[in-house]
Structure 1
Amino acid sequence: MSSSPTYDAIILGAGGAGLFCALTAGRRGRRVLVIDHAKKPAEKIRISGGGRCNFTNIHTSGKNFLSDNPRFCLSALAGFTPKDFIAMVEAHGIAWHEKTLGQLFCDGSSQQIIDMLLDECGKAGVTIALETEVKSVSKNERGFTLETSRGRFEAASLVVATGGKSIPKMGATGFGYDLAKQFGLAVIPPRPALVPFTFGPELRGQLEGLSGVSVEATVACGKTRFAEALLFTHRGLSGPAILQISSYWREGDEIVVNLCPAHDVFAELRAARAAQPKQDVATALSRFLPKSLAARWCDMAGVEGRLADLSDKRLRALADSVNGWHVKPQGTEGFRTAEVTAGGVDTRGLSSKTMEARDHPGLYFIGEVLDVTGHLGGFNFQWAWASGFAAGNAL
């Protein structure tokens, strides 16, 4: 007999998905070991939502997720809903509030969510081994054998909850993708998602000084569009609308930004010209846009002076650039600042009900390592809980 510690399941990754899977399986009497190379568990939860953890979204549906296999997420999301997670939060006495668009946050600190997960893992008898490096993974007829910096561990099942490549300074790696490939699963090329855009030097120069200026905007890439706040930065564009569209953007794509979606700028500039012909065009435009942005937009469009002196054609050119600014980002800020990773383990090789690999019984993939990417606003955490729950009930 092997002298290695034997578990029913080993879970790689002590983030949201891994811990939720562990507590779910532990409650069912399974002997569970969670392994992570980090010093502390759930660091991404800790920094999320400005330190208050946007832990779910009450409007969660399949429409809030991006994947090459879009129906895959539906079964797990139906099996564990935002209401189910809220019930756990409330059972732990954690006060919460809804911000905008169904986003739920802790009144206090995101540490409350981490403590709740660790408490539930403790009650379920889960063992957590931090600062543990996995050196190799192999499979035999009994299950999986892991060689680690703390020795050898064996388990009947292995759950990969290692996350994506986003925010490498917090320890993110591509380890989960390497494991998937080791077992013959396809991987959709990972790319940064929910990430700010960067501009080339020429456009950065034109927009210099606007850093910190924010407007409510609609941003489109192809047929996908989002209406939320947009923020100018010293490197390009950020804010919720930009982070959302970045998940759909590919290198070389153009985005179309409406900086003033509540107004038909051309119609209103014409009306202003009739009512106050001596008014400067930048002053007229500053009724709809922040003053500094209005002035810069007039400069960039080459439209200046009194409204009375400007033809419909000139006003139309200016208005079109406000209501439909066509811009091609040079790139994104990359995994360094990306909130999540798009792409990942191809879900066509997995069961949507259990997250188990079809060709490798006992091998599961959950959370961000999969090619399932939520929109901004708590959806990625709900996917972590739901996919963890699905696998935890199948172990």
Structure 2
Amino acid sequence: MQKFDVIIIGAGAAGLMCALTAGYRGRNVLLLDNAKQLGRKILISGGGRCNFTNQNIEPAAYLCRNTHFVKSALARYSQWDFIGMVERHGIEYHEKTLGQLFCNESAKDIVTMLTTECEWAGVKIQLRTEILQISKQQQGFGLSTAEGTYQCDSLVIATGGLSMPKLGATPFGYKVAEQFGLQVLPTTAGLVPFTLQPEDKERYEQLSGIALPVIATAECGKQFKEAMLFTHRGLSGPAVLQISSYWKPGEKVGFNLLPETSFVDWCNTVTQESPKLSFKNALSRLLPKRFVERLVELGDLPEKNLNQLGKGEIQQIADYLHNWQIAPNGTEGYRTAEVTLGGVDTDELSSKTMEAKKVPGLYFIGEVMDVSGWLGGYNFQWAWSSGYAAGEVV
């Protein structure tokens, strides 16, 4: 049996950060993963450029049943700390929109940086290792694997959630939590495209590929101002992914299709300038032509000239365009979801150390717990912050 101070299961973003942090403290660290390569989710993120953090990190950008849980870790290892590491390694990056930071070259740069830091910190990394059994011992934990048995004082679970099963996502972390008597909250897919009801799919599927800026609003009142994209299956794009985390089955989502324009004011101005212009052609100056034509074809918008529109009709059109409603059929599920909502109940964990209150020496970090961030680097920052918090004490 091999003995380590710390064993971390899961060599993704949180696991790598925890490993290097603990290693630099002089701890003897073993990082285990069942996968063939490190940081698979990092490598495919941000279209292969890795949206590694956001300049605007704040606790309000996280969904968690305990709204205060994320504050301590985010404050002690902030986006600026991670950006500092990126800059020390000479990785060039840029801001895309809304504070989102991406590598100029490749997500591989982030994985290489973390791997290098782990090497410098003396961390032992072992891939292709299946965990068969975990047991609590008189001191620490015992692990039985296909590669042999191990013993450690501190055990860290960094195995992520259920999103993107093709990358190896499994419920392993939840099962460990339940094995040790910790509550696991129900999980659902988050940051995920919507599928449409059959009748809406028929109405809109020919619009696949059309994107437009919107303000998406959930029934709980949460709003996001970003792009919406029509797909063959339903709706996607940043605004839809963001609002999906706040949507509940059976609810509607409202979309302001003209977030920068008051339709009534615009319509009155254009009517004065070009009264005989067709409404369809006029509106195509503001919205994608194919989208406008389809709404007219469906009878949702009138086929008239501007000067034929009455005051009441203009207000009706304004209400429709500023609050276009869709009742999603569901979501595309974990297959395309960027995060998993729910997970290990944070009430079971210390917000300062990520240690299980009932099981000394057992820690949970990253996506496996009930913490999910917005789209745009927030979830990676939670991985860095929670990994660092545990790495400081294991």
| CA deviation string 1:202-247 (max 9, x = no partner) | 1011113211111111001021000011111111111111111111
Matching residue of 1:297:
295
Task: Give the secondary structure class of the aligned counterpart of 1:10.
Answer: strand
1:79 is aligned to 2:76:
yes
Matching residue of 1:134:
131
1:104-123 maps to which residues of 2 (within 5 A)? 104-123=101-120
Matching residue of 2:336:
337
State the Cα distance separating 1:192 from its structure 2 match: 0.6
Matching residue of 1:352:
351
Matching residue of 1:374:
373
Task: Give the secondary structure class of the aligned counterpart of 2:241.
Answer: helix
Matching residue of 1:323:
322
Matching residue of 2:253:
255
Task: Give the secondary structure class of the aligned counterpart of 2:43.
Answer: helix
Task: Give the secondary structure class of the aligned counterpart of 2:206.
Answer: coil
Is the Cα–Cα contact under 8 Å of residues 230 and 237 in structure 1 kept in the other structure? yes
Task: Give the secondary structure class of the aligned counterpart of 1:335.
Answer: helix
Residue type matched to 1:332 in 2?
A: T
State the Cα distance separating 1:191 from its structure 2 match: 0.8
Matching residue of 2:19:
22
State the distance in 1 between where 2:372 and 2:206 align. Answer: 34
Residue type matched to 1:348 in 2?
A: D
State the distance in 2 between where 1:148 and 1:251 align. Answer: 40
Matching residue of 1:363:
362
State the distance in 2 between where 1:29 and 1:208 align. Answer: 57
Task: Give the secondary structure class of the aligned counterpart of 2:26.
Answer: coil
| CA deviation string 1:145-169 (max 9, x = no partner) | 1111111111011100000000001
State the distance in 1 between where 2:93 and 2:325 align. Answer: 39
| CA deviation string 1:178-204 (max 9, x = no partner) | 111111111111111111111022101
Q: 1:8 aligns with which of 5, 8, 16?
A: 5
State the distance in 2 between where 1:266 and 1:304 align. Answer: 17
State the Cα distance separating 1:284 from its structure 2 match: 1.5
Residue type matched to 1:346 in 2?
A: D
Gaps of 5+ in 1: none
Gaps of 5+ in 2: none
1:195 is aligned to 2:207:
no
Q: 1:170 aligns with which of 162, 167, 170?
A: 167
Is the Cα–Cα contact under 8 Å of residues 355 and 387 in structure 1 kept in the other structure? yes
Task: Give the secondary structure class of the aligned counterpart of 2:239.
Answer: helix
Residue type matched to 1:319 in 2?
A: A
State the distance in 2 between where 1:316 and 1:199 align. Answer: 27
State the distance in 2 between where 1:286 and 1:16 align. Answer: 44
1:48 is aligned to 2:40:
no
State the Cα distance separating 1:302 from its structure 2 match: 4.7
Identity %: 53
Residue type matched to 1:225 in 2?
A: Q
State the Cα distance separating 1:315 from its structure 2 match: 2.7
State the Cα distance separating 1:47 from its structure 2 match: 0.3
Is the Cα–Cα contact under 8 Å of residues 197 and 327 in structure 2 kept in the other structure? no
Matching residue of 1:389:
388
Is the Cα–Cα contact under 8 Å of residues 163 and 334 in structure 2 kept in the other structure? yes
1:188-227 maps to which residues of 2 (within 5 A)? 188-221=185-218, 222-227=220-225
Worse overlay, 278-287 or 5-14: 278-287
Is the Cα–Cα contact under 8 Å of residues 266 and 320 in structure 1 kept in the other structure? no
Task: Give the secondary structure class of the aligned counterpart of 2:280.
Answer: helix
Is the Cα–Cα contact under 8 Å of residues 205 and 234 in structure 2 kept in the other structure? no
Residue type matched to 1:273 in 2?
A: T
State the distance in 2 between where 1:270 and 1:188 align. Answer: 52
Is the Cα–Cα contact under 8 Å of residues 303 and 314 in structure 1 kept in the other structure? no
State the Cα distance separating 1:84 from its structure 2 match: 0.8
Moved over 6 A (4+): none
State the distance in 1 between where 2:87 and 2:305 align. Answer: 60
- How many residue pairs get matched? 392
Worse overlay, 240-249 or 290-299: 290-299
Matching residue of 1:264:
262
Matching residue of 1:153:
150
| CA deviation string 1:72-91 (max 9, x = no partner) | 00000001011111111111
1:52-63 maps to which residues of 2 (within 5 A)? 52-63=49-60
State the distance in 2 between where 1:137 and 1:266 align. Answer: 65
**TM-score computed with the length of structure 2 as normaliser:** 0.97
Task: Give the secondary structure class of the aligned counterpart of 2:7.
Answer: strand
Task: Give the secondary structure class of the aligned counterpart of 1:70.
Answer: coil
State the distance in 2 between where 1:207 and 1:322 align. Answer: 16
Task: Give the secondary structure class of the aligned counterpart of 1:352.
Answer: coil
Task: Give the secondary structure class of the aligned counterpart of 1:237.
Answer: strand
State the distance in 1 between where 2:384 and 2:205 align. Answer: 42
